[in-house]
Chain A
Amino acid sequence: MFWRSWHIFALLTGLSMDYYTPLEHRKHSFKEFMNEMVVKQFMDQFRDFGLELPWYWDDHFLKELDWYHHALHLGVWTWRQTAWWNPDAGVSPEERAWLEEKYPGWNDTFGKQWDVITENIRDGKPELTLPETFPMVCNMCQIPLVTPAGFLFGKLDSPEPLIVDRDGRRLLFCSEPCKWVYEQNPERFAGQLTIIDRFLSGVIQPPTVDGALAYMGLSPEEQGQDATNYAWAFVNQPARQIAG
């Protein structure tokens, strides 16, 4: 339960704290908040009750504090059409400096990916920032597989997701704990289909990004867009016109 809650919490709160909150209002990074308000309290409680830490605490949970939500943010922003809010990129030069200070190595990993995105926007090619396919999704937490980001950040040994073939079905997992949760009770999750399972089984028609957006019931007016119409890409840059 803790593990699955952590992934949802990283998705919702990690993005809000480190990318959506205006820089002048940030008091903690998400990682600092997690260490002070969650990790410490849980460890105190485990100690007080005489419990051992979960097996995944050090090698998986604590390591993900450094990189996981940054990858999710890039994913949410990239697939922003599927979001019901307008994601703020949050990567102006000042914000990037803050991210590098709080998460050393951010510039050499996520920063490089945002560099390419930023150049495309400055060059008047925002269409290159929109996806033409889907991310693969974890069969446990249902969150896109961002293992390549963890590998780039030096926290995972491989960029590849974990695979379990069972009863003629291929299941994908973003992490050892998600795979472990599944393996505790495979029958419980036998009928659970990810959005990609539905895509591949023909439930989503046509099998395109537009088809999936229609399946989600998202009209063009409801689909998420960059929150500032890409203004962040032009901070400290000569003014240039861009098609929305």
Chain B
Amino acid sequence: MALFPVQGIFEGDFVVMLIPVDDADPMSIVAEKVAHHAAGRRVAPQPGALQVRHRGQVLPDTSTVIDAGVAPLDVLQVGYR
């Protein structure tokens, strides 16, 4: 387990943010970590689960950062399903 920086974009927000995650985090946790900095701050929260998109593909919730092949400072787009 190690600290792992990614670029996070939350759907509806205006900026790309530095998001520190753990390389063992599953995508469900990664999504929450990105959302923490935007949902309820600049983007109105919505009911429903979040999803993570990487290089155009939606990643499974249980897939970890390492398993998903995410590289440091890759862009992860997070939004509501």
Contacts and interface: CB of A to CB of B under 8 A. Distances in A.
Given A112-B12, A170-B73, A172-B73, A136 B43 contact: no
Interface in B44-81: 44, 72-73, 75, 77
A199 interface: yes
B17 A75 contact: no
A113 interface: yes
Given A148-B9, A160-B77, A75 B40 contact: no
B7 A161 contact: yes
B7 A148 contact: no
B13 interface: yes
B42 A135 contact: no
Contact of B18 (A71, A113, A134, A147): A134
A110 interface: yes
Contacts of A78: 15, 42
B16 A116 contact: no
A161 B75 CA distance: 8
A152 B13 CA distance: 8
Given A113-B42, A132-B37, A145 B14 contact: no
A28 to B, nearest CB: 24
A128 B45 CA distance: 13
Interface in B1-37: 5, 7, 9, 12-20, 36-37
Interface string A24-45: 0000000000000000000000
A120 interface: yes
A149 B44 contact: no
Interface residues of B, number: 23
A133 B18 contact: yes
Given A148-B9, A159-B9, A71 B41 contact: no
Contacts of B42: 74, 78, 113, 116-117
B41 A148 contact: no
Nearest to B15: A135
Contacts of B13: 113, 148
A200 B5 contact: yes
B12, B20, B41, B72: residue with the most chain A Cβ atoms closer than 10 Å: B41
Interface of B: 5, 7, 9, 12-20, 36-37, 40-44, 72-73, 75, 77
Given A117-B42, A132-B36, 15 more contacts: A74-B15, A78-B42, A112-B44, A113-B13, A116-B40, A116-B43, A116-B44, A128-B41, A131-B37, A132-B37, A135-B16, A136-B7, A145-B7, A146-B15, A170-B73
18 contacts: A71-B14, A78-B15, A78-B42, A110-B14, A116-B41, A120-B40, A128-B40, A133-B17, A133-B18, A148-B9, A149-B14, A152-B14, A159-B16, A159-B77, A160-B9, A170-B72, A172-B73, A200-B18
